[in-house]
Structure 1
Amino acid sequence: MKSLLIGLSAALTFGTAPAGMTPGSIDAFLRQALESTGLPGFSVVVTHNGKVVHAAGYGHDSEGHAVTENTPMRVASVSKSFTAMAVMTLVERGKIALDEPVASQLPGFRVADPRAAKITVRQLLNQTSGLSDSTVDIAAVDSATSLADYTSRLAGSGLRADPGTRWEYCNVNYNLAARLVEAASGQRFGDYLRQRVFGPLGMKSSAVSDQVVRPADGYNSIFGAWLPRPELSGFLNGSGSGGVITTAADMGKWLITQTGGGRPLVKRESLDVMHTPTKLRDYGMGWGVERETGLLAHSGNLFTYNAVEAISPKTGYGFAVMANGAALTDDTYTIMQGLNALAEGRTPEPPGGDRQLFELVLAAIAAAAAGLGVMGVLRSRRWAARHAGRPWWWIGLRLVPALLPAVMLAAYPDLISFLMNGREVTWAQLTYFPAPLSITLLVTALAGVVATGIRICVLRTLTRHTK
């Protein structure tokens, strides 16, 4: 990893911007991205050679204001890199031991599984602790009123694997890390970030509580229409896993320090540790690592906001893209990839289009299902006459296909949780950015159930009359 940082340092010291990477070309690409993605608004910052190359906002917020580089945005899991930095500042001060058990450093941390006694701080930050959404009562911990309360609610939890043997993305790891910062520093997590991370960098518009910095409501895309919605209630305030609210202007200062420029918060060796992937996964500490390109990146996905941060050791550029809308696809990542292509002298692909296509297909399916349901009801007498006298088991088999969507709807949260590797998904969450999929499934299920129910009623009536 030292070679990575040496290369990054060289890029920062000697690198020159590609001919196409000018504020004008960046702005032109981002204006095109606003149009092609259809996002209500987003803000962007690009850094290079220890300086901000471009910082701006595009579109509008839910209150009708133009988005600028100073518009507060929720960055969700991008927060994890800030939590990792807070921990590493305390590691350097001798307040936290990276490779010692969390249990010996965090009063109140108890887990029913005895293996949890061996979880180290490094394993929390690397997401290799063995903790999992499937072994923790997520609903219980997410209703906690503080990080201390959150930690105490883990007492009945278990581990999915021995610590250090399996990588699994789990927000619990970073909320525990945030509580560890509180225990080691004697300060609330938000206060420590403000004094030791945001403050020294001049990030005056950043916080981990919406009581300090209040962003406008974000949006969800419902079959192509962006609707403003309040953020789903949850463990947002003070969260180490996803609670940071910041601006593009502030993120520029953050990216510069992550590339070794500006005012350092930790030694370069500590940056090395945070940026180094484990053998189990291409993930460091709050940063994902692309092994082929070396690109450091982390996305953040909340229910009405999306964000991504990235650093390219190849070119020395840093990028952050934050959007006030969330849908079935994340356009912030494709916008970041386009900016990275520009930085490498390549022609970026126009971002966007997938969301519109996906939602158009889902709308067509919902409309077709509703039409078939109405047709099934209108033709129920004809259907019943054709099947009268048949055995009920045979009729049941014929009705099964129409009821399959209802079965899928009943299992919907569990099915999505399974597809997301065990991460808990609730009905409330499924009404946010997955709403087009949820609505389509609901319409399809209702069409099948109603048509089936009426067919059975008409068939029973005909059967009684024939007797």
Structure 2
Amino acid sequence: MERTPLTRHLAAALLTLGIATAGIAPATAAPPPAAPTPEAIDTYLADLTEASGVPGLSAVVTHDDQVVHAAGYGHDANGSPVTADTPMRIASVTKSFTATAVVILAEDGKIDLDGSVTDQLPELRMADPRVDDITVRQLLDQTSGLADTSVDVADLAEATSRTDYVARLHDDALAADPGTTYAYCNVNFDVAARLVEVASGQDFGDFLAERVFGPLGMTGSATRDDVVRPADGYNSLFGWWVPRPEPRWFDDTGSAGVITSAADLGPWLISQTGHGRQLVSAAGLDAMHTPSDVGDYGLGWHTEDDGTRWHSGFVMTYRAVEWIDPATGYGVAVLTNGAGLTDVTQTALDGLVALTRGEDPEPPAGSRTLDLGLAALLIASGALGAVGIRRAPRWAARRAGRARWVTGLRLVWLALPAVVLALLPALASFLTGGRTFPWPSLLYFGLPAVLMLLVAALAGLGVLGARLGVLLRGLPRLRPVGSAA
């Protein structure tokens, strides 16, 4: 029989009385973690900057509709202090801005997220009929079938405009059927940026300025360095930071073109957590933060099972990362004007996220271990190469009487460093899941590894050449070491 409201009230009263008489207090919710103070954030970041040696770093932490802390540490290449307002390139963090621009236009009725890209961008043509099956949403969640392995990345890097960029895809193909697999590829967002131009009738950078940067008060942000000049960057060379100018390339892109500051990223993070000024509807924001059916990438955001969203980026002499937790309202962004083999922005992010959760971050530590290890290998390779070349006759004398082909096989390993050096771009691609790293990129952030392998390759080939030279001059005529005169 269904209980009446009176019966339910009586049952609740008896239950409460029974709990009280048993001496058991009703369960209470755990208190929320203590909010990080600006002082705690500042101390952590200052200690990390000093410990890591990174030249300049800036960061912002937001909560709901407030900026908790925004500051800069270190210096730029001119010796000027890095502040919260120091502009830097944020590389692939740009992708979340490009996705927002597309969703804005979709809500304006000018772009169909689930419609064919080629229907809305007729200039997109490829040597693959499956291009007509790509939807705009698949560009933004990186399930279009485009991949670094199926396009000519080096050719695209020489583009002079977004129109030229799209035109250069005419002889490229897809790596998979659209919608069937996830593959991180910059081409998706560079095409999306061109679509923004066609749909809006504005330059991509102008559209972001009017519909994204302007409404959020991001007055120090742009997509071109003639509008906002970023701080000069550095590369790590065996633990020492060396200022290096950015190479000239078409950088006003939808995949990596935004220049901004920690201060400007404050209102951006606030908006992305659903607070402050909103650029898109709640449904649009939710769509951006929802992963596809075949990957953990939303529309311009990586997604995690705990509900957090993030994106990182690096280019030549800069690194950046952004992170939001819509459930708690926290947002974090970290930027640096130094790029090397280790990523201090990720370390900073981990520590700041710990602070937002009321936890103690790991104590800041140095990040030079890998660089110093490579320096030690470089020195050891050079020294061993010099010794090996000088002792080539003695080495050959000890092998007098052995079959030359057996001795020759024992020399093959000396060519291994040269092989690894030659295959370094392919090896880097394999280790990063198919991303393409042309030599210009490797000669920036990967310079220590390249130099170490170069010295090792030259040393190995030098010893190989010296030993083969002795063998070919007549190994059988050499007296074994220790034989009678």
Fold similarity call, TM over 0.5: yes
Aligned counterparts of 2:261 and 2:353: Cα–Cα separation in 1: 20
1:45-95, Cα deviation, whole Å (9 max, x unpaired) = 111120111111000001110000110110000000000000011000000
Please point out which of 316, 327, 342 is paired with 1:329.
342
Aligned equivalent of 1:281: 295
Please point out which of 63, 72, 77 is paired with 2:78.
63
Larger radius of gyration: 2
Aligned equivalent of 1:168: 183
1:147-194, Cα deviation, whole Å (9 max, x unpaired) = 111111111111111000000000000000000000000111001111
Q: Which amino acid aligns with 1:433?
A: F
**Contact 2:274–2:326 (CA<8 Å) still a contact in 1?**
no
RMSD over aligned CA atoms reads 1.6
1:119-169, Cα deviation, whole Å (9 max, x unpaired) = 000000000000011111111111111111111111111111100000000
Please point out which of 402, 427, 447 is paired with 2:459.
447
Aligned counterparts of 2:301 and 2:32: Cα–Cα separation in 1: 24
Q: Which amino acid aligns with 2:108?
A: R
SS at match of 1:178: helix
Greater Cα offset, 334-343 or 365-374: 365-374
SS at match of 1:54: strand
Q: Which amino acid aligns with 1:442?
A: L
Aligned counterparts of 2:270 and 2:475: Cα–Cα separation in 1: 78
**Contact 1:47–1:318 (CA<8 Å) still a contact in 2?**
yes
Matches within 5 A, 1:427-438: 427-438=439-450
Report the CA distance between 1:466 and its aligned residue. 6.3
**Contact 1:388–1:459 (CA<8 Å) still a contact in 2?**
no
Greater Cα offset, 434-443 or 178-187: 434-443
SS at match of 1:44: strand
Aligned counterparts of 2:204 and 2:403: Cα–Cα separation in 1: 67
**Contact 2:60–2:265 (CA<8 Å) still a contact in 1?**
yes
Q: Which amino acid aligns with 1:455?
A: R
Cα 1:457/1:91, change in 2 over 3 Å: same
1:352-399, Cα deviation, whole Å (9 max, x unpaired) = 43x311112212222221121111112111012122343331121110
Q: Which amino acid aligns with 2:269?
A: L
Aligned counterparts of 2:427 and 2:239: Cα–Cα separation in 1: 25
Aligned equivalent of 2:11: none
Aligned equivalent of 1:318: 331
Query: In the alignment, does 2:433 pair up with 1:421?
Result: yes
Aligned equivalent of 2:409: 397
Q: Which amino acid aligns with 1:296?
A: R
Greater Cα offset, 422-431 or 201-210: 422-431
Aligned equivalent of 1:296: 309
1:264-297, Cα deviation, whole Å (9 max, x unpaired) = 1111110000011122111101111111x21111
**Contact 1:331–1:352 (CA<8 Å) still a contact in 2?**
no
Matches within 5 A, 1:129-168: 129-168=144-183
Report the CA distance between 1:19 and its aligned residue. 3.6
**Contact 1:218–1:229 (CA<8 Å) still a contact in 2?**
yes
SS at match of 2:171: coil
Give 5+ residue unaligned stretches, structure 1: 1-15
Aligned equivalent of 1:216: 231
Query: In the alignment, does 2:280 pair up with 1:266?
Result: yes
Aligned counterparts of 2:148 and 2:42: Cα–Cα separation in 1: 40
**Contact 1:406–1:449 (CA<8 Å) still a contact in 2?**
yes
**Contact 2:140–2:298 (CA<8 Å) still a contact in 1?**
yes
Aligned counterparts of 1:449 and 1:131: Cα–Cα separation in 2: 39
Q: Which amino acid aligns with 2:353?
A: N
**Contact 1:17–1:343 (CA<8 Å) still a contact in 2?**
no
**Contact 1:385–1:459 (CA<8 Å) still a contact in 2?**
no
Report the CA distance between 1:462 and its aligned residue. 4.5
SS at match of 2:386: helix
Query: In the alignment, does 2:269 pair up with 1:255?
Result: yes
Matches within 5 A, 1:372-387: 372-387=384-399
Cα 1:384/1:441, change in 2 over 3 Å: same
Report the CA distance between 1:20 and its aligned residue. 5.5
Cα 1:44/1:442, change in 2 over 3 Å: same
Cα 1:466/1:322, change in 2 over 3 Å: closer
Query: In the alignment, does 2:240 pair up with 1:225?
Result: yes
Aligned counterparts of 2:473 and 2:220: Cα–Cα separation in 1: 69
**Contact 2:44–2:364 (CA<8 Å) still a contact in 1?**
no
Give 5+ residue unaligned stretches, structure 2: 1-30, 480-485
Aligned counterparts of 2:272 and 2:365: Cα–Cα separation in 1: 29
Aligned counterparts of 1:339 and 1:414: Cα–Cα separation in 2: 35
The alignment-based identity, stated in percent, is 57
Between Structure 1 and Structure 2, how many residues are aligned? 449
Please point out which of 329, 354, 358 is paired with 2:370.
358
SS at match of 2:434: coil
Q: Provide the TM-score with structure 1 as the length reference.
A: 0.93
Query: In the alignment, does 2:117 pair up with 1:102?
Result: yes
**Contact 2:117–2:136 (CA<8 Å) still a contact in 1?**
yes
Aligned counterparts of 1:56 and 1:207: Cα–Cα separation in 2: 20
Report the CA distance between 1:23 and its aligned residue. 0.8
Q: Which amino acid aligns with 2:377?
A: I
**Contact 1:315–1:344 (CA<8 Å) still a contact in 2?**
no
